[in-house]
C-alpha cells in the first residue's frame, strides 16, 4: 500500500519526521551558532528560489548546510526548527520578505515531501484523518465516478481539509476525496503554507526584547549592517603614530595585524590591502595627517616622496572624505572582507581565517601563544568558519571575556579592536 522503503541518503532518516507545523524551539543554543544556522537557511532558501526560477524541476536540493553527518537526529531537528523560527521573526514585520519566506519555505517543504518514501507519515504526525485505498476499495454511487477515480493507490481525505483539493480537479464522494500520491503532496504543502502564513501573522504581534536576537535579525534583514561602523572614537582609544606599534601588537585583529606586519616588512601594500587597512586605521582614530605620514614613511623606503605623492596621496585623502566627492567612507566589515576574491601573490588583503594558506595561518596562531587545544580547534574550522575562529582567538587571548564584549567580535575588525581596548580598560591593564 504505502509501506516505507529503506531510507536513502544522509537526510532521509530526518525526513521521516518532517514537521507539518513547526513548533518554536525550546533547547538552549549558542548565540553564534544560532546566527550561523539562520544564515545557512537563508542561503538554502535562495537555492530553492534559484531552482524555481531556472525551472530545473529538481525534487531535491541538498540540505547539507543544515543537516550534516556530524549532527544526530535531535540536533538536526533543532537546527531545522531554530533556523525556521529565526527567519519567521526576521520577516514577520516585512510584507514582501514575509511573502517570499512563506513561498520559499513551502517550496522547500514540498521538495522534502517529494523525496520521502512515505509522505503519509506527515499526515499521521499532524493528526489529520486519512485512509489509504485502492480503487477496488472505493464505493462509488455512480459507475462514472469509479471511472473518474481511476486505478492505483488513493488517499481518502475529507474535502474540508484544504480548498486546493477542488482546485486540483477532485470531486467529493460523501464528503471525501480520493487523491493521488502526487496530489496529496500538493495538499500537504498547502496546509504547510497556511501554517506559515498564520505563524507569520502571530509573530508580528510579538515584541522582541532580547537584544541578541534583535541584533541577529537586524543583520539578516540588513545584509550590510555589519559593514556599518560609526567612526566615533572616544579619546582613550585614539591611535597615533607614537602608539601605533603598541596598539597593533595588543589590540589589532589578525587580519589587520597581518597587513601591518607586511607593510612593515615589504614597505608596500597592493590596492585591496591599502583600502582595507587604511579604512581600519581611520576607524580606530588615526588622523589624516598621521595616516599620510605613516604611509609615506613606509612606502618611501622603496620610492621617492614625489612618486608617493603622485600615486597614493590622493586615495588616502579620498578615503578620509577630504578629496573627490568628499564621501565619509566607513571601515569594511567582516562579511565584506571574507567574501573578497582570494589574494594573488604579493597580496595580503582578506581574512586569514579564510584566505591564508594553512601554514601561514598556523604561524599567525603561534605568534599569539595560544594553547594547543584552541589552535587545533581553529585549524579544524579553517577555512569554513572564519567568524567563529576569530571569536575563539579573541577569547583565547583575553581571559574570561565578558559576553557583552564578544557581541560584534568576528563581525567587524574595528569592533574587535574596540572590544580589546574595553577589555584591557576593565582589567586595569
The pLDDT of residue 141: 53
Question: Would you state the cell numbers that stand for residue 152, as one nine-digit string?
Answer: 492505483
CA distance 258 to 114: 49
Residue with the bigger pLDDT between 149 and 289: it is 289
Within 8 A by CB and 6+ apart from 404, the residues are none
Nearest to 48 by CA among 33, 61, 32: 61
User: What is the average pLDDT value for the chain, to the nearest integer?
Assistant: 84
pLDDT (average), residues 56-75: 60
Q: Is residue 376 over pLDDT 80?
A: yes
Q: What percent of the chain lies above the pLDDT cut of 70? A: 82
Residue with the bigger pLDDT between 354 and 153: it is 354
Q: Is residue 16 over pLDDT 70?
A: no
Question: Would you state the cell numbers that stand for residue 77, as one nine-digit string?
Answer: 531537528
Total residues belonging to the chain: 429
H-type alpha helices, 129-266: 143-149, 164-167, 181-203, 211-221, 244-251, 254-266
CA atoms within 13 Å, Cβ hemisphere of 72: 1
145 pLDDT tier (thresholds 50, 70, 90): low
Nearest to 175 by CA among 132, 129, 124: 129
pLDDT (average), residues 206-230: 79
Of the listed ranges 10-14, 98-102, 165-169, the one predicted with least confidence: 10-14
CA dihedral 173, 174, 176, 177 (to 10 degrees): 0
The pLDDT of residue 221: 86
Q: Are 231 and 283 in contact (CB under 8 A)?
A: yes
Q: Is residue 27 over pLDDT 80?
A: no
Helix, strand, or coil here: 409? coil
Residue keyed to cell 464505493 = 139
pLDDT (average), residues 183-212: 91
CA distance 163 to 168: 9
Helix, strand, or coil here: 157? strand
Within 8 A by CB and 6+ apart from 154, the residues are 132, 133, 134, 135, 138, 178, 179, 180
CATH of 12-126+183-221, one of 2.60.40.10, 3.30.1490.20, 1.20.930.80, 3.20.20.70: 1.20.930.80
The pLDDT of residue 20: 65
Q: Report domain extents, the chain.
A: 12-126+183-221, 235-426
pLDDT in tens, 101-140: 999 999 999 988 888 877 888 888 888 888 888 776 766 6
Q: Is residue 65 over pLDDT 90?
A: no
pLDDT in tens, 159-169: 888 888 988 88
Sign of the torsion angle spanned by Cα atoms 289, 292, 294, 296: negative
Of the listed ranges 49-63, 351-365, 407-421, the one predicted with least confidence: 49-63
The pLDDT of residue 222: 79
Q: Which residues of 371-404 are buried (b: 16+ CB within 10 A; e: fewer)?
A: eeebbebbeebbbebbbbbbbbbbbbbbeebeee
Helix, strand, or coil here: 22? coil
The pLDDT of residue 231: 52
Q: Are 192 and 109 in contact (CB under 8 A)?
A: yes
CA atoms within 13 Å, Cβ hemisphere of 301: 12
CA distance 253 to 53: 41
Residue with the bigger pLDDT between 352 and 21: it is 352
95-114 vs 31-53: helix crossing angle, rounded to 10: 80
How large is the C-alpha radius of gyration of the chain?
A: 28
Of the listed ranges 66-70, 135-139, 317-321, the one predicted with least confidence: 66-70
146 pLDDT tier (thresholds 50, 70, 90): low
CA distance 256 to 261: 8
The CA-to-CA distance between both ends of the chain, in Å, stands at: 73
Question: Would you state the cell numbers that stand for residue 373, as one nine-digit string?
Answer: 587545544
CA distance 207 to 399: 35
Helix, strand, or coil here: 178? strand
Residue with the bigger pLDDT between 244 and 9: it is 244
The pLDDT of residue 226: 59
CA atoms within 13 Å, Cβ hemisphere of 250: 16
Residue keyed to cell 573578497 = 340
What is the pTM for the complete model shown?
0.59
Of the listed ranges 84-93, 142-151, 322-331, 391-400, the one predicted with least confidence: 142-151
The helix or strand, by DSSP H or E, that contains position 155, with its residue range, turns out to be strand 154-158
Amino acid at each position: 500500500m504505502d509501506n516505507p522503503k529503506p531510507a536513502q541518503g544522509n537526510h532521509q532518516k530526518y525526513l521521516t519526521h518532517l514537521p507539518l507545523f513547526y513548533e518554536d524551539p525550546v533547547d538552549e543554543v549558542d548565540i553564534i551558532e544560532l546566527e550561523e544556522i539562520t544564515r545557512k537557511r537563508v542561503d538554502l532558501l535562495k537555492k530553492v528560489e534559484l531552482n524555481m526560477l531556472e525551472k530545473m524541476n529538481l525534487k531535491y536540493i541538498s540540505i547539507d548546510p543544515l543537516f550534516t553527518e556530524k549532527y544526530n537526529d535531535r540536533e538536526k531537528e533543532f537546527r531545522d526548527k531554530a533556523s525556521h523560527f529565526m527567519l519567521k521573526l526576521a520577516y514577520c514585520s516585512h510584507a514582501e520578505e514575509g511573502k517570499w519566506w512563506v513561498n520559499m519555505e513551502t517550496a522547500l517543504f514540498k521538495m522534502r515531501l517529494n523525496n520521502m518514501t512515505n509522505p503519509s507519515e506527515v499526515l499521521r504526525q499532524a493528526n489529520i484523518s486519512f485512509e489509504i485505498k485502492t480503487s477496488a476499495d472505493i464505493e462509488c454511487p455512480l459507475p462514472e465516478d469509479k471511472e473518474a477515480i481511476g486505478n492505483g493507490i488513493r488517499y481518502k481525505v475529507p474535502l474540508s481539509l484544504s480548498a486546493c483539493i477542488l482546485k486540483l480537479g477532485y470531486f467529493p464522494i460523501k464528503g471525501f476525496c480520493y487523491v493521488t500520491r502526487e496530489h496529496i503532496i500538493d495538499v500537504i504543502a498547502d496546509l504547510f503554507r497556511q501554517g506559515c502564513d498564520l505563524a507569520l501573522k502571530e509573530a508580528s504581534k510579538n515584541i522582541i526584547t532580547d537584544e541578541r536576537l534583535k541584533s541577529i535579525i537586524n543583520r539578516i534583514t540588513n545584509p550590510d549592517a555589519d559593514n556599518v561602523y560609526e567612526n566615533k572614537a572616544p579619546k582613550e582609544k585614539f591611535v597615533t603614530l607614537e602608539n601605533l606599534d603598541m596598539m597593533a601588537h595588543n589590540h589589532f585583529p589578525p587580519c589587520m595585524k597581518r597587513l601591518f606586519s607586511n607593510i612593515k616588512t615589504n614597505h608596500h601594500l597592493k590596492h585591496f590591502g591599502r583600502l582595507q587597512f587604511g579604512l581600519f586605521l581611520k576607524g580606530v582614530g588615526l588622523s589624516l595627517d598621521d595616516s599620510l605620514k605613516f604611509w609615506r614613511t613606509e612606502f618611501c623606503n622603496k620610492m621617492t616622496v614625489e612618486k608617493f605623492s603622485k600615486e597614493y596621496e590622493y586615495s588616502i585623502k579620498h578615503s578620509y572624505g577630504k578629496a573627490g566627492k568628499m564621501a565619509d567612507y566607513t571601515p569594511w566589515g567582516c562579511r565584506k572582507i571574507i567574501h573578497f576574491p582570494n589574494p594573488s601573490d604579493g597580496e595580503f588583503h582578506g581574512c586569514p581565517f579564510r584566505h591564508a594558506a594553512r601554514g601561514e595561518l598556523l604561524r599567525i596562531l603561534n605568534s599569539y601563544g595560544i594553547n594547543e587545544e584552541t589552535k587545533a580547534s581553529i585549524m579544524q574550522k579553517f577555512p569554513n568558519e572564519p567568524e567563529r575562529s576569530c571569536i575563539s582567538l579573541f577569547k583565547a587571548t583575553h581571559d574570561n571575556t565578558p559576553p557583552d564584549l564578544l557581541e560584534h567580535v568576528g563581525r567587524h575588525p574595528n569592533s574587535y579592536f574596540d572590544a580589546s581596548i574595553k577589555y584591557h580598560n576593565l582589567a586595569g591593564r
